[in-house]
Structure 1
Amino acid sequence: MSGVFYVIGTPIGNLDDITIRQLETLKAVDFICAEDTRVTLKLLNRFEIKKQLVSFHEHSSKNDAQRIVDRLVAGESCGIVTDAGMPCISDPGEVLVKLCVENSISIRVVPGPSAVVSAVAISGLSTRRFTFEGFLPVQKKERMDRLEQLRGETAVMVFYEAPHKLKNTLSDFVDFFGGERKISLCRELTKIHEEVLRFSLSDAVAYYKEQEPKGEFVLVLEGANENRSDDITIEQALEQVNKLISMGEKPTDACKAVAKETGFKKSELYSKLR
Structure 2
Amino acid sequence: MDTALYLLPVTLGDTELNTVLPAYNIEIIQGIKHFIVEDVRSARRFLKKVDREFDIDSLSFYPLNKHTSAEDISGYLKPLLAGQSMGVISEAGCPAVADPGADVVAIAQRKNLKVVPLVGPSSIILSVMGSGFNGQSFAFHGYLPIEPGERVKRIKQLEQRIYSENQTQLFIETPYRNHKMIDDLLQNCRPQTKLCIAANLTCEGEYIKTRAISEWKGKVPDLSKIPCIFLLYK
| Identity percentage of aligned residues | 23
Structure 1, residues 44-83: CA drift from partner, whole Å, max 9, x if none? 1122234433321223233431321233333332110212
The question of whether the paired residues in 2 share the 8 Å contact of 1:174 and 1:201 is answered with yes
d(CA) in 1 for partners of 2:67, 2:150: 21
Structure 1, residues 153-188: CA drift from partner, whole Å, max 9, x if none? 222222222222223323443455323322121111
Q: Does 1:10 align with 2:10?
A: yes
Q: Does 1:75 align with 2:83?
A: yes
Return the letter of the residue paired with 1:34. Answer: V
Bigger mean CA deviation after superposition, 118-127 or 132-141:
132-141
Shift of the alpha carbon at 1:140?
A: 6.0
Taking structure 2 as the reference length, the TM-score comes to 0.79
The question of whether the paired residues in 1 share the 8 Å contact of 2:186 and 2:216 is answered with no
Please show how residues 53-64 of structure 1 align to structure 2 within 5 Å: 53-64=61-72
Q: Does 1:189 align with 2:201?
A: yes
Return the letter of the residue paired with 2:8. Answer: I
d(CA) in 2 for partners of 1:103, 1:175: 49
Tell me what 1:219 maps to.
Answer: 230
d(CA) in 2 for partners of 1:76, 1:141: 50
The question of whether the paired residues in 1 share the 8 Å contact of 2:21 and 2:119 is answered with no
Tell me what 1:255 maps to.
Answer: none
Shift of the alpha carbon at 1:22?
A: 1.0
d(CA) in 1 for partners of 2:208, 2:180: 19
Structure 1, residues 225-266: CA drift from partner, whole Å, max 9, x if none? xxxxxxxxxxxxxxxxxxxxxxxxxxxxxxxxxxxxxxxxxx
d(CA) in 2 for partners of 1:173, 1:135: 14
Shift of the alpha carbon at 1:206?
A: 4.4
d(CA) in 2 for partners of 1:140, 1:61: 32
Q: Which has the higher helix share?
A: 1
SS in 2 for 1:219: strand
d(CA) in 2 for partners of 1:166, 1:62: 33
Structure 1 unaligned segments of length 5 or more: list them: 224-274
> Does 1 or 2 have the higher relative contact order (CA < 8 Å, sep 6+)?
2
SS in 2 for 1:215: coil
- 1:129 equivalent among 131, 134, 137: 137
d(CA) in 2 for partners of 1:202, 1:53: 49
The question of whether the paired residues in 1 share the 8 Å contact of 2:10 and 2:90 is answered with yes
Structure 2 unaligned segments of length 5 or more: list them: none
The question of whether the paired residues in 2 share the 8 Å contact of 1:56 and 1:64 is answered with no
- 1:21 equivalent among 1, 19, 24: 24
Tell me what 1:40 maps to.
Answer: 43
Tell me what 1:164 maps to.
Answer: 176
